[in-house]
Amino acid sequence: MWNLSSAILILVFVCFLPVPSFGEETSAEEYFLQGRQLVEGNIGDGGTQKGLEEGIDALKKALETGYPNVIELYKLLGKAYLVMSHYDKSYLKKGQEIYEILLKIAPDDPDVLDDYASRYLKDNKTRQIEFFRRIIKIDPKRADARYVLGLTLIETGSIDEGIKSGIEGIEMESDLYIAGNYVTYLIPALDVMGCPLGGGSAIYKKVFSMQRALDSGKVRYDDVAMTDFIKKEVVKKLANHKCPAKKK
């Protein structure tokens, strides 16, 4: 039977139970994992603005609750802000601010240097070149950095040095499709600078057709044949390339 004493005892017990605050069950690690899943799941095709916003909110909560790997968190947040800028231009500036923090706390991280130079120094080629030289010094095996450095040098008039760096990128790149991309960007850059590669148009078309065939899945080019063409024939042609003398 319930009586007054029992009721009072239960009331006292309930009153002294700890009252959970909102979100205290979620750890910084859990917030980070949730944020990473949402951001990575909404960066590519099928991603949504709402999903990115939720991911950003979760990452901010991870930061507020003391997630220890701040560099990892900021790198992910910076990428999320960059993608969000497609929906809201104000996030481009926010992303730049995140990367400027990263440059202070991770000054020798080649990924941070690469992301910042590629995304925020497009209008400052001199600084962009400095950044990519630094990336190569830190990590000499980065084929993409050598290619971008080469392309930027060509675009700023240092054509011989640019071709040399571009060749290094092509030779070092393990993915033949990406190595083909390097070729199809370098050739037009030389054209723009008034230094066209002999037979460049035919090379461009051949590499492009190889890539489209691979995309379709209907034709599989032999890796050896692609390697011989891209990394031997094209590289040799670039290495022997000399700009035509300008008419006075």
The whole model's pTM is what? Answer: 0.81
- 54 domain-assigned: yes
> What is the H or E stretch that residue 114 is in?
helix 110-120
Kindly give, in sequence order, each residue whose CB lies less than 8 Å from that of residue 186, ignoring residues fewer than 6 positions away: 147, 150, 151, 154, 163, 166, 238
Structure tokens at 13: 């017990």
Please count the structural domains in the chain.
Answer: 1
Q: How far is it, in rounded angstroms, from Cα 151 to Cα 165?
A: 8
- 237 domain-assigned: no
Structure tokens at 109: 């991280």
> What's the pLDDT score for residue 151?
97
Side-chain half-sphere CA neighbours of 227 within 13 A:
8
Q: Which domain holds residue 64?
A: 27-105
Q: Which long-range contacts does 84-88 make (Cβ < 8 Å, 24+ apart)?
A: 84/49, 84/52, 84/53, 84/56, 87/49, 87/52, 88/49
Q: How far is it, in rounded angstroms, from Cα 178 to Cα 180?
A: 5
> What's the pLDDT score for residue 18?
36
Q: How far is it, in rounded angstroms, from Cα 68 to Cα 62?
A: 9
> What's the pLDDT score for residue 226?
85
Contact 89, 120 (CB under 8 A): no
- 89 domain-assigned: yes
Q: Please report, for the chain, how many H helices and E strands are present, in that order.
A: 13, 0
- 46 domain-assigned: yes
> What's the pLDDT score for residue 81?
94
- 98 domain-assigned: yes
> What's the pLDDT score for residue 14?
31
- 141 domain-assigned: no
User: Which residue type is seen at 80?
Assistant: A
Q: How far is it, in rounded angstroms, from Cα 132 to Cα 75?
A: 18
- 20 domain-assigned: no
- 71 domain-assigned: yes
What is 186-206 written as a DSSP string?
Answer: HHHHHHHTT-PPTTHHHHHHH
Longest dimension (CA), the chain: 112
Give, for all 248 residues of the chain, the pLDDT tens digit. Answer: 434 443 333 333 333 333 333 445 789 999 999 999 999 999 888 899 999 999 999 999 999 999 999 999 999 999 999 899 999 999 999 999 999 999 999 999 999 999 999 999 999 999 999 999 999 999 999 999 999 999 999 999 999 999 999 999 999 999 999 999 999 999 999 999 999 999 999 999 999 988 888 887 766 666 778 889 999 999 999 999 998 866 55
Q: How far is it, in rounded angstroms, from Cα 54 to Cα 50?
A: 6
